Amino acid sequence: MILRTIGAVLGASAMLVATAAPAMVPDPDPGKKACVQEARRLCPAEMKSLSRKKVEACMIAKIDQTSPTCHAAMLRIKAQREDAAKR
């Protein structure tokens, strides 16, 4: 009886850890999700070209038309491009 109780407690604990684990992992870049929809709207030709650089350049050019989340992501990308150009 005691072993069954211990087994049930351990099983329940394992299930809690397994279901809670994905919630604890933060989204790596929420800006990417936000920007995809906006890129389709603001830069459809560049999206069809499947060129990431063209899409990023278009989105940076139209940065004032983006949401705050996407805006922040575009600023990060712009800064990364500028840093890479300096090297």
Nearest alpha-carbon partner for 76 in 35, 44, 41 = 35
Predicted structure pTM score? 0.60
pLDDT at residue 77, rounded to an integer: 87
Rounded distance, CA 9 to CA 5, Å?
6
- Chain segment 43-79, per-residue pLDDT in tens: 999 999 999 899 999 999 999 999 999 999 889 888 9
- Chain segment 19-48, per-residue pLDDT in tens: 444 555 555 666 677 799 999 999 999 999
How sure is the predictor about 87, in pLDDT bands with cuts at 50, 70 and 90? confident
Task: Provide the token pair at 84.
Answer: 């890479």
